[in-house]
Amino acid sequence: MSLFENTAAPARSVAFETRSADQRLFVLLIQTISLCAGLFLLVADWRTLSLEWIGRLLLFHLIWALWSWRKLGGTLLNPYVLFMLSATLFNAGLGLVEAVHLNREPILPDFPDEIVARSLLIVFASLSALHWGALFVLRDRPAGAGAPSVSSPIGDRALRLIGWGLLAISFVPLMVQLNKAVSVALGGGYFALFQQEIGFAGLGSAIQILSDLTGPGIFFLLAGSKERRFERRAALVLLMLYCGTALFLGSRGSAMSLVAVTWLWERSIARVPRMLLIGAAAVLLVGVFPLIRETRNLSAAERRTVSVRGTYSELEENPAVDAIMEMGSSILSLAYTLELVPNYRPYDLGAGYFYGAFSLVPSLFWARHPSVARGTYSKWLIESVDPVTADMGGGLGFSFIAEAFLNFGAVGAPFVCLLLGYGIARLWIWSERSRDPGGFAVVATLLPYLLFFARGEFMFIPRPFVWYGLVPYGAYLFLRRAGESHTA
């Protein structure tokens, strides 16, 4: 029996429906208690709570979230679960390590315990709200969710045309981008990429936008290739070349595309062997990522002198613990934001989300896009806490939880996360309702950006969802209907 599959009988009897309704009510009730506890702790005397105790709360919630979703949602290989895991590791990773005493040093030693405790409590309340919003959507879970995709020769051909078209459009801009990135990284390492002038608008923006169509091209091509071995292999080869180059440069975020294509393969092509999936994830997290972290800032000449065994021997922690702690360090952005807001910067009261949505408008009409000219939260943060690193092009990243806090405060942040969980689960329900491979391609296109959003900000979500996902999907629907009317 697979850990990832719900083996409950699919019979649609009255007794089965009653048990399902009772299970949903019970799970939602427990999650409501978790959410209320998180909100209460935000306004209670949280200074008396130990970091270890808060870490255990986060660990128990992670276990509960996985169990409850598998019970009601049927599978853990799911866009919402993948985002929830990403959000937990990036924002609560240090708390998880603290809960089981795997860290050698105190977490966030440069901050007072009060700031660390409050940061972890905001994370707990926000993750509880995120899961509540997602569980609430499951009352509309279609009966066929998880069943094989419903495709047709005409629809598959339309998807392949869209995929090849996007790849053709993106080829030259991608080569220009990769050629520049490889030459810079080989000379000065990964950090040198952030010391380059970035084109926020005009030609530079156009090249970046067009090169980013590579991922959607691969996803749409793969979604329409269930019965086409050549196209499946071509999509996988292109993905491996793209992700392999990005990993060589030092960008571990490219692995998010591997996660997305795994889910898309599961929904559009065939079931992915679970042991293969677990093994590949372990190799990336424990083997590849720590090695990249230790070597990516080295030049090509310096990399040739690096010993893989020596690199691993220099790690202060077990590779698995080290990977979780590094991802969990993203909570730094929330801790710094708690110190700065509202003491040195007022709450944005939703302005950040407005400018994020405005990023949908192409960057071709301004010298600098208004959303960029206003400044991203990640840039504001690094300029506030480490101007020297900011001048060198470095940064700390950000967090969707820190962004919610900066806009609406500690109590408002969980409610933003509740809407986020609802929206992600609703998007999954939409794709499962028709089981159209085109809908799965849209979700797969957004998924890498969504997983990175766990340590990013909203500004980088609307454009890929609309321009890279929904617009190609609209073109696919047009071609499919044209083909169907022609053969009618």
Q: What average pLDDT does the segment 63-77 reach?
A: 92
The C-alpha atoms of residue 74 and residue 72 are separated, in whole angstroms, by 6
Please report, as a single letter, which amino acid is at residue 409: G
Percentage of the chain surpassing pLDDT 90? 57
Q: Which of 161-165, 166-170, 189-193 has the lowest mean pLDDT?
A: 189-193
Place of tokens 């999509």: 235
| Tokens matching residue 398 | 């950000």
Sign of the Cα pseudo-torsion (36, 39, 42, 44, in order): negative
Q: Is 312 exposed, middle or buried (0-12, 13-18, 19+ CB in 10 A)?
A: middle
Query: Which residues, in sequence order, are bridge partners of residue 5?
Result: 75
d(CA 482, CA 230): 25
- Mean pLDDT, range 466-478, rounded to an integer: 95
Helix boundaries (H) for 105-152: 113-137
The pTM of the full predicted model, rounded to 2 decimals, is 0.91
The pLDDT value recorded for residue 205 is: 67
Show the tokens assigned to 337: 């934001």
Q: Which residues pair with 75 in a beta bridge?
A: 5
295 close to 306: Cβ distance less than 8 angstroms: yes
187 C-beta neighbours (distance < 10 Å), count: 11
Asked if 54 and 124 count as a contact pair (C-beta separation under 8 A), the reply is yes
pLDDT of residue 364: 62
**Is pLDDT at 390 greater than 50 in this prediction?**
yes
In terms of Cβ atoms closer than 10 Å to its own Cβ (0-12, 13-18, 19+), residue 202 is: middle
Quote the CA–CA distance of 485 and 488 in Å, as a whole number. Answer: 5
Q: Can you tell me the mean pLDDT for 183-198?
A: 66
Q: What percent of the chain has pLDDT over 70?
A: 85
The answer to whether the bond into 142 is cis (omega within 30° of 0) is: no
Pick from 151-155, 193-197, 451-455: least confident: 193-197
> Which residues does 200 contact at the CB level (< 8 Å), separation at least 6?
363, 368, 369, 372
Cβ-contact 243, 288 below 8 angstroms: no
Question: Would the pLDDT of 463 be above 60?
Answer: yes
User: Residue 435 corresponds to which amino acid?
Assistant: R
pLDDT at 190: 65
Which structure tokens are listed for 231?
Answer: 């196209």
The answer to whether 131 touches 84, Cβ cutoff 8 Å, is yes
CA 83 to chain centre: 5
Compute the distance between CA of residue 391 and CA of residue 388 in angstroms, rounded to an integer. Answer: 5
pLDDT in tens, 168-177: 999 999 998 8
Question: Cβ(40)–Cβ(128) under 8 Å?
Answer: no
Within 10 A of 129 (CB to CB), how many other CB atoms are there?
A: 26
- CA dihedral sign, ordered 167, 170, 176, 182: negative
Query: Taking residues 245-272, what's their average pLDDT?
Result: 89
* Lowest mean pLDDT across 39-43, 248-252, 399-403, 423-427: 248-252
What per-residue confidence (pLDDT) applies to 74?
A: 84
CB of 240 closer than 8 Å to CB of 183: no
What residue segments make up the domains of the chain, in order of their start?
14-140
Query: Exposed, middle or buried: residue 477 (CB in 10 Å: 0-12, 13-18, 19+)?
Result: middle
Pairwise CA distance, residues 165 & 213, whole Å? 10
Give the C-alpha separation, 138 to 143, whole Å. Answer: 11
For residue 226, the model assigns a pLDDT of 92
Highest mean pLDDT among 133-137, 203-207, 318-322: 133-137
